[in-house]
Amino acid sequence: MKLDAKIPSGSISEKWSKHKFNLKLVNPANKRKFEIIVVGSGLAGASAAATLAELGYKVKCFCFQDSPRRAHSIAAQGGINAAKNYPNDGDSVYRLFYDTIKGGDYRAREANVHRLAEVSVNIIDQCVAQGVPFAREYGGHLDNRSFGGAQVSRTFYSRGMTGQQLLLGAYSALSRQIGLGNVQMFSRTEMLDVVLVEGQTRGIITRNLVTGAIERHAAHAVCLATGGYGNVFYLSTNARGSNVTATWRAHKKGALFGNPCFTQIHPTCIPVSGDHQSKLTLMSESLRNDGRVWVPKTKGDNRRPEDIPEAERDYYLERIYPSFGNLVPRDVASRKAKEMCDAGRGVGTSGLAVFLDFGEAINRLGEKAVKQKYGNLFDMYHQITGENPYKTPMRIYPAVHYTMGGLWVDYNLMTTIPGLYALGEANFSDHGANRLGASALMQGLADGYFVIPYTIGDYLASSNLPIVKTDHPAFVEAENQVKDRIHKLLSIKGKLTVNEIHRQLGKIMWDYCGMARSAEGLTHARKLIQDLKQDFWTNVNVPGSDADLNQALEHAGRLADFLELGELMVVDALERNESCGGHFRTEYQTPENEALRDDDDYCYVAAWEYQGDNQPEVLHKEELVFENVKLTQRSYK
């Protein structure tokens, strides 16, 4: 298979404009003849479904939650980047492009990232027009703050609930189209397979999570906007329901999976408190604007933080990276926290935490100002830990947060299966090996509002798409496969609960495929995962029936997919003999313990092709060509 990213020719700043002109259009009267399925209702899914419906297409949208407003985009706190340059501090589309490429450690596609930076400005306009309440200055204009990996203030925000406000904006646009009858919404419905006819994507198979009914839906194209797969680690900042099932089933039907091992470990999360833990909570990176990260200078110093004098504190990020200080990119901040804890200087009962201290900011700005900026984050911390961060420093530790990998897509966001698109976190395309803060919201909305509405029309206008109904043999076969699998899961009746096995998988992934990876550990992990998969299929206990609301059954199906994905992540991490961004192989580091890239041998996207159950996947490479940005060792010193 030859991977063609379909990157338009011409200079970087003209590619998208030229491409938009060259794309074929569907005439307005014909649009209503095309049916499009959108799976997922987060920022990417809701914005895509709403916009496609506004254009006149017939849209069906699916989500597994009880309402499209619940999608996990809602939990993003800090903000959304846009190259508006309102603060007049030297920002530009090119600078946002450059920062994103550099932040991704030169493993993202230039053309996609430049387009993202270009449309970033339209996103803010659109959201404000929808009534999204952003933070404002006293003059009534929009306020900005700075975020990791950037030296300009380009982040728009709504207190600590930016994701919520942007999602509710997209949800309102989607709701408007549902009300107008242009979108048919299916909540509490999970996609369990894609249906291909003559090599084209022509529909999906779903399960109604209330009645258990398996249903068929036909369409001319399908967009997967189903988010990331961080829950393969069991403990992550993702919602409990977030899963890889839609993209994994698509992968098994032939869509290549790009850079599966690129995972982001977010530096500022609330540390694990015990074995019962079911998820981890993130504290927005924006806290690093005013919070200072430190550990005691002496190993094993377990005095209370207030009792440790200034001279005995090590503000290690400020010390090692004087120019970016506490605002280094996420991968760097996470790795340094791990190093400090590994060296025995971690704090708290587990020793797996560092301090994030607002003492200096409270002295400088006053408690009231700090409260106005971060009040809800401080409250959340207080609620979870029982400690008051106005009085004592927060304790934080890195946690799995985002997955840069995902389905491989071309410049049009189409996967390797014609008519199947992947949007937002579900695709691999824009963040390379590390995503910068406040860029996930930007990408989700860019894909949904401003990219897919153009590119999907080109496919619909230029493809031969004969009529396919849901009684087509391909639908029957896909439905039978889905049913067989559900019956298999329910019939095992073993001794282990789904949760127990998921926890074990998470531990393997975190220990061997987390913040630091090695060939030896990864090889070992692969064997462990294979054994665990065997255990799952012979000894899992899924209670209840398939004709009811059965949450254990839902979880079991998702875990079965995570087990397969987990192995692919390990294989991908093992294959990439370099360190870059969030992928840190202990064998490949600079003398200062920074990630050591190998641009001669690994400057490519690893795209994996499924070969059948228990068969090794085949690697395809998309070479990354950098025509504008010079590859350098990232330095935030």
Partner 1 sequence: MKGSMKLTLKVWRQKNTQSYGRLETYKISDVSPDMSFLEMMDVLNEELIRKGEEPVAFDHDCREGVCGMCSMYINGRAHGPKSGTTTCQLHMRSFKDGDTIVVEPWRAKAFPVLRDLVVNRSAFDRIIQKGGFVSVDTGSAPDANIIPVPKPMAEKAMDAAACIGCGACVAACKNASAMLFVSAKISQLSLLPQGKVEASARVQKMVAQMDAEGFGNCTNTGACSAECPKEISQENIARMNREFMVAKLTSDLEA
**Residues labelled catalytic:** 330
Q: Which of the ranges 123-131, 245-253, 471-479, 629-637 carries the binding residues for partner 1, by CB under 8 A?
A: 123-131
Q: How far apart are CA 192 and CA 62, in angstroms?
A: 12
Q: How far apart are CA 432 and CA 261, in angstroms?
A: 11
Q: Which is nearer to partner 1, 549 or 625 (CB)?
A: 549
Q: Determine which residue in the list 4, 125, 360, 477 makes contact with partner 1, applying CB under 8 A.
A: 125
Q: How far apart are CA 612 and CA 203, in angstroms?
A: 22
Q: How far apart are CA 44 and CA 48, in angstroms?
A: 6
Q: Determine which residue in the list 9, 21, 27, 138 makes contact with partner 1, applying CB under 8 A.
A: 138
Number of residues in contact with partner 1, rule: CB under 8 A? 83
Q: Determine which residue in the list 30, 518, 551, 593 makes contact with partner 1, applying CB under 8 A.
A: 551
Q: Is the distance from CB of 44 to CB of 423 less than 8 angstroms?
A: yes
**Nearest-CA neighbor of 554 among 217, 232, 249, 242?**
242
- 340 to 399, contacts with partner 1 by CB under 8 A? 379-380, 383-384, 386
Site string for partner 1, 258-277 (x = CB under 8 A): ---------------xxxxx
Q: Which is nearer to partner 1, 282 or 337 (CB)?
A: 282
Q: Which is nearer to partner 1, 106 or 229 (CB)?
A: 229
Q: Which is nearer to partner 1, 211 or 632 (CB)?
A: 211
Query: Minimum Å distance from CB 69 to partner 1?
Result: 6
Query: Minimum Å distance from CB 281 to partner 1?
Result: 5
Q: Which of the ranges 431-439, 446-454, 586-594, 622-630 carries the binding residues for partner 1, by CB under 8 A?
A: 446-454
What six digits make up the tokens of 397?
């530790």
Q: Determine which residue in the list 126, 284, 434, 443 makes contact with partner 1, applying CB under 8 A.
A: 126
> Is residue 72 a contact point for partner 1 (CB under 8 A)?
yes
Q: Which of the ranges 91-99, 224-232, 504-512, 541-549 carries the binding residues for partner 1, by CB under 8 A?
A: 541-549
> Is residue 107 a contact point for partner 1 (CB under 8 A)?
no
> Is residue 124 a contact point for partner 1 (CB under 8 A)?
yes
Q: Determine which residue in the list 15, 19, 58, 84 makes contact with partner 1, applying CB under 8 A.
A: 84
Q: Which is nearer to partner 1, 126 or 416 (CB)?
A: 126
Q: Which is nearer to partner 1, 30 or 208 (CB)?
A: 208
> Is residue 67 a contact point for partner 1 (CB under 8 A)?
yes
Q: What is the DSSP string of 78-145?
A: S-EE-TT-TT-SS--HHHHHHHHHHHTTT-S-HHHHHHHHHHHHHHHHHHHHTT----B-TTSSBP-E
**Nearest-CA neighbor of 399 among 275, 583, 276, 238?**
238
Measured at the alpha carbon of residue 167, what is the angle toward residues 165 and 168, in degrees to the nearest 5? 65
- 594 to 623, contacts with partner 1 by CB under 8 A? none
Query: Minimum Å distance from CB 129 to partner 1?
Result: 4
> Alpha-carbon torsion 474, 480, 486, 488, what sign?
negative
> Is residue 300 a contact point for partner 1 (CB under 8 A)?
no
Q: Determine which residue in the list 58, 59, 65, 83 makes contact with partner 1, applying CB under 8 A.
A: 65
Give residue 202's Cα distance to chain centre.
Answer: 26
> Is residue 580 a contact point for partner 1 (CB under 8 A)?
no
Q: Determine which residue in the list 1, 25, 210, 519 makes contact with partner 1, applying CB under 8 A.
A: 210
> Alpha-carbon torsion 407, 410, 416, 418, what sign?
positive
Q: What is the DSSP string of 151-185?
A: SSEEEE--TT-HHHHHHHHHHHHHHHHHHTTSEEE
Name the residue type at position 93. Answer: V
Q: Which is nearer to partner 1, 47 or 579 (CB)?
A: 47
Q: How far apart are CA 204 and CA 224, in angstroms?
A: 11
Q: Is the distance from CB of 514 to CB of 584 less than 8 angstroms?
A: no
Q: How far apart are CA 193 and CA 214, in angstroms?
A: 11
